[in-house]
Amino acid sequence: MTEAVHTHPVDQALDQFIQRQQQLQPESPQVPLDSQWPSPCCLVEGADGELSPWRPVRQQQTCDMFARLSEALEEPVHPSVISFYSRYWSDPLPARSEEGQLSLLQVWNSDDMERLRGNLIGHALAKRKQRQPLSLFFATTEPDGNYFLSVMNSDGTIWLEQPGKKPIRQLADSLAEFINRLEPERIQDME
């Protein structure tokens, strides 16, 4: 693994979003430690079940997950999706948009990255079966989670979707533009 080099506009948008979130909530949210599900986000070590403060942490190394995902999909993954999921280790990040509340999906650790890969492949296969263009999800609506937000793989536009249906409507021209419009919300402690 080598040092990651990021220059995509999504990187800057995520950096600014997380900076605004940390200004909104200077005290770190808490998460129970789990030795079977460790994360670089946890700021202290301890026994399973003990609470640890956590923060989004920049990923320091590249991984081949998106190369393998592209191979499985038989097409390149849009660069904004790669930047989005490769920038930070984090729990989902709550936010508010013009359309309502949402949760930006993130990856907690390398095992979570593999779980994401499987979920994206399953989503892509469902899209193919329905003869719909490939989109890759990056957020869910809150509080119900009945809708999700995705990047159209062909052009990087942002769409509101519902599982098993055609995309509903375009929300932004790019992922960076969409993230820049978001207002962060407080992250709740996990129990």
Task: Give the residue numbers spanning the domain of 64.
Answer: 9-184
Indicate the pTM of the whole model: 0.92
Q: Is residue 189 part of a domain?
A: no
Question: What contacts 42, CB < 8 A, 6 or more positions away?
Answer: 31, 33, 52, 53, 54
Task: Answer yes or no: is 190 within a domain.
Answer: no
Q: What is the CATH number of the domain that holds 62?
A: 3.40.1580.20
Q: Is residue 164 part of a domain?
A: yes
| pLDDT score at 3 | 43
**171 found inside a domain:** yes
| Residue 191: inside a domain | no
Q: Tens of pLDDT along the chain (191 residues)?
A: 444 454 789 999 999 999 999 999 999 999 999 999 999 999 999 999 999 999 999 998 888 899 999 999 999 999 999 999 999 999 999 999 988 999 999 999 999 999 999 999 999 999 999 999 999 999 999 888 789 999 999 999 999 999 888 899 999 999 999 999 999 999 998 87
Asked whether residue 64 is assigned to any structural domain, the reply reads yes
Residue 118 lies inside a defined structural domain of this protein? yes
Q: For residue 88, is it within any domain?
A: yes
Domain count, the chain: 1
**E-assigned strand segments in the chain:** 30-32, 51-53, 57-58, 88-89, 93-97, 100-104, 135-141, 148-152, 158-161, 169-172, 183-184
The pLDDT of residue 2: 42
